[in-house]
Structure 1
């Protein structure tokens, strides 16, 4: 019986590949997957499966706007595990991190919350996430039938190809401009007070 080949040595190419794969794996946390899931769950009811009356048009428009706002703001959420092992969630501000799940006394323990303040990269991520969500939302057939029933062939071709282009562009920018944010629902929580 032949022995399996030895594992490849980790040289500089191995580290580069590891970094590339790690950055690509984090795209699920950067793209608006949770918002898209909620949007997909509510859309058939709100849009009456594309057979819109006037109230359905308002509900569909409000759903798109609400999910877009959530998608934009979720890029500013962050979390950390304190030295006691307790997980804390918050939203980044220009002064630092505002923690949701603690009281005032507990908040005073952390003097270094300013390191979580909003940066330029946060805005790049939030606008790209918003862009990807809006492209996706406007390309769904129920939204098109409800809000744009008069769309012609050229508009349909554009809407069919735009999500792929937006996904590639946003993935490229997310890899070039990585973020240290660990938003709500981030899968890798193996860190203590960054």
Structure 2
């Protein structure tokens, strides 16, 4: 394997850390099969384009998802809307356990969400195009200039995306983020108190 190809793979791997993990894993698992390892027929091209479009949409929409710990110490997931926040996993949203009133006010769509959404979308498209099977499928006759561009594009996109994410930070914790309950465990406090007294 050439040094340039290895550098391109490392850049693409670093780029993947800026994207939703599930979407990247799905793309990495499906691309070899959908592209027939780069030996594409017309059906493979359509399958690959459809998969890239679906994963791109998932990357875009994931920037609007969020999670929070409710009053009952459960983690709630949802998506931001123009009018508030739509919680997915709160069957009885009238009981107030999820803290719907205060979370609706603070979690509306903002301009920063769109910055993150379009950046994630662009980064995923660059990530998908940097895959060697996709390159063989859609750009089989790429010359030296095109190969140099495709090889260096993930590095540039990753740098630009990191800069944008740093300049426009978000407080959203997308679906799948491991949140910890805000309230402390009484049993744990009692054990700590007993330990202090016994020492």
Structure 2 portions without partners, runs of 5+ = 1-15, 184-199
Match of 2:43 in 1: 55
TM-score by length of 2: 0.77
Alpha carbons of 1:124 and 1:191: their partners in 2 closer, same or farther (altered >3 Å)?
A: farther
Alpha carbons of 1:191 and 1:177: their partners in 2 closer, same or farther (altered >3 Å)?
A: farther
Structure 1 portions without partners, runs of 5+ = 1-26
Alpha carbons of 1:58 and 1:107: their partners in 2 closer, same or farther (altered >3 Å)?
A: farther
Match of 2:122 in 1: 131
SS at match of 1:44: helix
Residue number among 101, 119, 124 corresponding to 1:111 in the alignment: 101
Which has more radius of gyration? 2
- Deviation beyond 3 Å, 4+ runs, structure 1: 190-193
Match of 1:171 in 2: 162
When the two chains are superposed, the root-mean-square deviation of aligned CA atoms in Å is 1.9
Deviations 1:77-110 (A, max 9, x none): 001110111111001111111011122x425622
Residue number among 59, 69, 84 corresponding to 1:81 in the alignment: 69
SS at match of 1:50: coil
Alpha carbons of 1:89 and 1:150: their partners in 2 closer, same or farther (altered >3 Å)?
A: same
Structure 2: distance between partners of 1:149 and 1:157? 14
